[in-house]
């Protein structure tokens, strides 16, 4: 029987479709112990060595060469999500291990969260809610986003969806990406500019770029110091894109108005991440961008289907490293 280890705590937990697909097709799905630290490389490696697996479902755990080598029978790593920056794709490819992901699963869920965070920051919704629950009756002054300038860094599928959603709010959009999207470039309320222009001129700056060597700590002291004192930063992409020490400094000193953060340098937040989350001008959420019924159904379906297809000698729909098929 083909054994599948899930390193994603959410796989099959809220929406069972992925688990049902694997079990229906005769796969044995194994969940790690609840007390296992999935961020500890050695603990995960030791678990794998005790009972070898043919496939791994990856969540946020870093799938390193040590983990890949520990799994002697490993044939495929299926990411239960979009980003594969936590998987050593090059090493897996060298070992002829297939890598799949779910690129379209959470576009709308992350885009909707982003817009929700912008509105929440603007109208101080969470602050007002917590204030009233604590027994106070205080009126917190917010602002409308009508006529404001919103900077979107990254106009891929999620960034593009955010831009379209914001269009009905009569805002101005400044956008930046390596490649200009011709469809959204035609919109009257959008203008492509340099990245520094976005930080200098936006009332809200929202990040929608993948984590890579080129984007690691891209948003550092230099970029943050360009922002208006009244401006907000929103990050629903990857925590490591922002230099958290620099972000803490500008937030703690109130050099910018605040931030809404769904992603962190360490998850759960620790060290600098935890200090940022406690600031009174920060709206923190625990990486919930993909946590909707619809997104989890799509992710679970695509993740499980990729594994089933692979072991039935079919090319998975979203295979990142198709070159390994020649060696199989």
* Three-state secondary structure call for residue 238: coil
Strand order from edge to edge, sheet including 190-192: 190-192, 172-176, 149-153, 204-207, 232-235, 258-261, 282-284
**Which among 20, 22, 28 has a CA at the least distance from the CA of 2?**
28
- Annotation says 287 is catalytic: yes
Q: What whole-number distance in Å separates Cα of residue 239 and Cα of residue 18?
A: 27
Q: Which residues touch 295 (CB under 8 Å, ≥6 apart)?
A: 105, 106, 108, 109
- Annotation says 238 is catalytic: yes
Of 75, 80, 208, 238, the active-site residue reads: 238
Of 185, 267, 294, 323, the active-site residue reads: 267
Sign of the Cα pseudo-torsion (115, 118, 122, 127, in order): positive
| Helix, strand, coil shares, percent, the chain, to 5 | 40, 15, 45
Using alpha carbons only, what angle is made at residue 273 by residues 271 and 277, rounded to the nearest 5 degrees?
A: 120
- The position carrying tokens 């296992």 is 36
- Annotation says 183 is catalytic: no
Q: What whole-number distance in Å separates Cα of residue 300 and Cα of residue 304?
A: 6
* Three-state secondary structure call for residue 277: helix
Identify each DSSP E strand in 51-197 by its residue range: 55-58, 76-79, 98-100, 149-153, 172-176, 190-192
> Residue 24: is it exposed, middle or buried by C-beta count within 10 angstroms (0-12/13-18/19+)?
exposed
The string of DSSP codes covering 181-204 is -HHHHTSTTEEE--HHHHHHH-SE
Rounded (10°) CA dihedral 99, 299, 295, 28: -140
Of 287, 294, 302, 323, the active-site residue reads: 287
By annotation, the residues acting in catalysis are: 238, 267, 287
């Amino acid at each position: 029987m083909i054994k599948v280890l899930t390193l994603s705590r959410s796989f099959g937990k809220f929406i069972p479709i992925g688990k049902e697909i694997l079990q229906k097709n005769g796969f044995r799905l194994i969940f790690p112990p609840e007390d296992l630290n999935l961020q500890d490389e050695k603990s995960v490696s030791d678990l794998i060595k005790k009972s070898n697996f043919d496939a791994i479902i990856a969540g946020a755990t870093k799938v390193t060469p040590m983990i890949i080598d520990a799994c002697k029978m490993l044939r495929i790593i299926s990411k239960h999500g979009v980003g594969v920056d936590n998987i050593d794709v090059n090493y897996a490819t060298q070992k002829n291990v297939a890598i799949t992901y779910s690129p379209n699963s959470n576009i709308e869920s992350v885009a909707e969260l982003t817009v929700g965070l912008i509105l929440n920051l603007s109208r101080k919704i969470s602050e007002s809610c917590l204030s009233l629950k604590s027994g106070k009756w205080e009126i917190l002054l917010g602002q409308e986003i009508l006529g404001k300038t919103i900077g979107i860094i990254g106009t891929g599928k999620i960034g593009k969806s955010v831009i379209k959603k914001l269009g009905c709010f009569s805002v101005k959009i400044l956008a930046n990406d390596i490649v200009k999207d011709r469809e959204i470039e035609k919109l009257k309320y959008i203008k492509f500019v340099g990245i520094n222009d976005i930080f200098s001129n936006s009332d809200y700056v929202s990040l929608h770029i993948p984590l890579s060597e080129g984007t690691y700590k891209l948003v550092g002291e230099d970029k943050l110091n360009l922002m208006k004192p009244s401006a907000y930063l929103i990050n629903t992409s990857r925590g490591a894109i922002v230099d958290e020490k620099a972000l803490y400094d500008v937030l703690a000193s109130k050099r910018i108005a605040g931030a809404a953060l769904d992603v962190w340098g360490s998850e759960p937040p620790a060290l600098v991440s935890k200090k940022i989350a406690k600031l009174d001008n920060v709206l923190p959420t625990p990486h919930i961008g993909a946590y909707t019924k619809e997104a989890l159904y799509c992710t679970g379906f695509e993740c499980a289907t990729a594994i089933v297809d692979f072991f039935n000698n079919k090319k998975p729909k979203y295979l990142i490293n198709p070159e390994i098929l020649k060696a199989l």
